[in-house]
Amino acid sequence: MRLGGKRLLVCDCEGTMPLAGGKLAKACQANGGEGELALNTQLCRSQLGNFQQALLGGEDLLVACTQEAPLFSEVAAEDKPDAKLGYLNIREAAGWSEDAAAATPKIAALLAEAALDLPPTPSVSFASQGTCLVYGRDQAALEAAGQLKTRLDVTVLLTPDADSVVPPQVMDVPVFQGRVTSAKGHLGAFAINVDGYAAAKPSSRLELSFEPARNNAFSECDLILDLTGGAPLFTGHERRDGYLRPDPGNPAAVQKAIFEIADLLGEFEKPRYVKYDAAICAHGRNRKTGCTRCLDVCPTGAITPAGDSVEIDPHVCGGCGMCASVCPTGAATYQLPAGNALFERLRTLLEAYRKAGGPDPVLLLHDGRHGAETISLMARGGRGLPANVIPVTLNEVTLVGVDFLAMAFAYGATRVAILVGPDKRGELEGLAGQIALAETVMDGLGYGGGRIDILDERDPDAVEARLWGLEPRSQAEAGNFLPMGGKRTRTMLALRHLHAKAPDAHEILPLPKGAPFGRVKVDTAGCTMCLACVSACPTGALQDDPERPWLGFNEEACVQCGLCANTCPESVIALEPRLNLAEEARSTVKLNETEPFNCIRCGKPFGVKHTIDRIADQLAGKHWMFASNDAVERIMMCEDCRVVVQFEVGNPMAGAPRPRTRTTDDYLRERDLETAQGRARTEPGETED
């Protein structure tokens, strides 16, 4: 069978999965599959020839097995090195379950998703020359340096309160004392400042002693092995490439870290997780701060303010995706996978499940580490996943935002369960806010809340019990719209679909403070129509009219960043978080309008009438520059007439008349004049003496 342009190979793993070939083929055909499905039983052993035969056919292959992927890849490298292979796991996800007999729609959905061609994710490069700092507090630091010195260029830094350290017989690695006061950087480019910095004395006898210390010493290195057991040098240190911080009281953990850091020599790559567009960032305008959502949730410190925008260091970024989940405009977008591929996966999964006849779809979002391991343990030693629970592998579950959740429900999901690893428990603030927002909207539209569950249990049995105990929820009529545009567009597409099919279609839903939807309210009595708010608005929600004093507002574009309120010199702007799904929210409505002032000289409209009147009234006779009526009248003139009148009264910049430059013509003219005058004085018949 061919699915999505790929040759499909399915195996029931020696009969341990009750797969019905005909039924599964029919379900795949409902989603664009072509041809008959040949079901294998031992594709990785006795039926390996079936794989090789398909391989030599020259088609892209999709193998429904991940356990034996290394074997298949090895065979492909020998028989057809240029072959394109894809793998997916239907065994732990569906086939090994008490509900396996009813899991055909889920398997068809997983196959349809795996057949998609996803765009590649851009990468970022690192280079490490092997300069390593071992930062410790006792003899263990020297022992670690001794193991690393043959692979890396090692320097040892011992804290001033370090235990007594025996001097080595041969000082084959430099040893210093000091305390790191600040550190920044990443793999291949760390920079540290050290106080109490001192070199070890070569005359040290029973224990290391040190030279006189100095503060604020600076150094650079490629790698840091932190064995102090104290506070980490970096926030989110678990994701800081090149920085390893094992528990010094755990010898196994220390040894593992030594093995890992010894291999960090050379050039490396990792995904560029986040794409950033400063043009639509709502962080700031004109030195006024607005949105700080990404800065508030980043666990690694990869995001820093940069004037009116922010900077995201791709080398420091750990890929949690929280910045993308909370960003209201889509300025920060997650790129693993790139573009809208994640939402296309979501649409394909739920559409294929629905077309295959699957009921009550529940999405199980999980990462490829803790989540995949938990699902495997449930399948191998427990009941497995229910037939209607569809696992969705994400790089990090914390990348989920309100756009993903809204689209999941709009595409037909009845519930969403998010399996969180123990390392993520301290990083759920952003995700919790997005869940609360989605729950508020679903409840406000009449679908009912309680549709999103966080599964943070470490015990697979507890996770299994939660999944099997999920109560069915009503299902919105599934949409099939394409996930087009940026985050804001995708979100509104999903919300408008949910609103159109809602049991209780309220057009305006109140939202909690901080929600990225809402309106702007202007106190028109105090508004001077300076329109500073329009220039500050990063999304174009606030608009003006170049022909008249007019202020408009498009509610669907507003992200409640607060820049307009922070910029307003009269402080007459307030924010009201709400979700307005009425048609008027998509168009621009008037917030304020006033009469223009007409120039008293030429009649051209300029400025705002009540503002000009107030300025003239406050300055007339009260300021030395406006003591005369002429000066006050100039306030009431447009910029052109003001200049003309000023020069009519007298040029304030005029100086003394410049002397006229004499030319040859002037001298010739004077000579001719003198000659003519001489002739006039001479009488007729007389000659001049």
Largest Cα–Cα distance in the chain? 150
381-392 residue pLDDT tens: 999 999 999 999
DSSP characters over 154-169:
EEEEE-TTPPP-PPPS
Residue (of 189, 179, 279, 269) closest to 226 by Cα position: 179
What is the mean pLDDT, run by run of 10 residues, along the chain of 689 residues? 95 96 94 93 96 93 97 95 95 97 97 94 95 96 96 96 90 96 97 97 94 96 97 94 96 97 96 95 93 95 95 96 95 92 96 96 96 97 97 96 97 97 87 96 93 95 96 91 93 96 91 95 91 94 91 96 95 96 94 89 83 82 79 86 79 69 85 81 55
Distance CA 591, CA 171 (A): 76
219-255 residue pLDDT tens: 999 999 999 999 999 999 999 999 999 999 999 999 9
DSSP state of 213: P
- Rounded to 5°, the CA angle 655-658-659 comes to 155
Domain 341-503 -> CATH class: alpha beta
In CATH, the number for domain 518-593 is: 3.30.70.3270
Give Rg (Cα) of the chain. Answer: 38
167-225 residue pLDDT tens: 999 999 999 999 999 999 999 999 999 999 999 999 999 999 999 999 999 999 999 99
Distance CA 603, CA 613 (A): 16
- Topology of domain 125-269, per CATH? FAD/NAD(P)-binding domain (3.50.50)
**Does residue 167 have a cis bond before it (omega within 30 degrees)?**
no
Q: What is the pTM assigned to this prediction? A: 0.88
Distance CA 527, CA 531 (A): 9
- Cα 479 from chain centroid (whole Å): 27
**272-334 belongs to CATH 3.40.50.1460:** no
